[in-house]
Amino acid sequence: MRKMLNRRRTWLLLILVWAAGCAASKESTFVDPNMDFGAIQIVAVMPFTNLARDPVVPERVRDVFINKLLATGAIYVLPPGEVARGVSRGEIATPTTPSPEEVVKLGGIIKAQAVFTGVVREYGEVRSGTTTASIISVSLQMIETQTGKVVWTASSTKGGITLWDRLFGGGGKAMNAVTEEAVDDLLKQLFR
């Protein structure tokens, strides 16, 4: 009888861990149904807005995004220096949140069909009791440079303290691994 109860507890625990993992991987995406994404060959990635505590976080996440986007081979990503020169020539006051008119102007200067902007909402370590884990939350949007219109948005949150960590301890994944998971998730949403 005791052995049967232990099996049931084990199965219940496994089901709870699985359910917690499924619940943590929600995604939200907007795709403009009228946009021809096949026409986009060159993109620019603007500096990301930082809502996290560490001031270098947006550049870290932007670099990971640029490298992984280039690695897909689907589109050409302008180097950050070229984007910075375009921002300077276009006299864009806030490159993290350009207006539609500024996006159109920038597109003409740097010859890109789309611009990505992003927000790093959370980045770092979270604690619950004695357990700590890395967490990241990022939102991105793609803006067409011909019209200045947002044609795609997505967000991803990865990492955090899982039920497994709470029950058995553990430190979770490294920050770099969690960042790459979030960017991979965003790219999966982009290339559906």
pLDDT at 48 over 90: yes
pLDDT at 60 over 50: yes
Q: Which residues pair with 123 in a beta bridge?
A: 136
Domains of the chain by range and CATH? 26-190 (3.40.50.10610)
100-110 and 80-89 helices, crossing angle to 10°: 120
* pLDDT 10s digits, 10-36: 444 434 444 444 434 455 799 999 999
Q: Which residue has the higher pLDDT, 45 or 164?
A: 45
Task: Give the mean model confidence (pLDDT) for residues 96-125.
Answer: 97
Residues with Cβ within 8 Å of 82's Cβ and at least 6 positions away in sequence, in order, are 44, 110
pLDDT at 19: 44
pLDDT at 129: 75
* pLDDT 10s digits, 137-148: 999 999 999 999
pLDDT at 20: 44
pLDDT at 14: 39
Q: Which residue has the higher pLDDT, 77 or 164?
A: 77
CA 7, 12, 15, 16 torsion: positive or negative? negative
Q: Which residues pair with 133 in a beta bridge?
A: 126
pLDDT at 121 over 80: yes
Q: For residue 160, name the pLDDT band (cuts at 50, 70, 90).
A: confident
What percent of the chain has pLDDT above 70? 84
How many CA atoms within 13 Å lie on the side-chain side of 187? 19
pLDDT at 10: 47
pLDDT at 27: 55
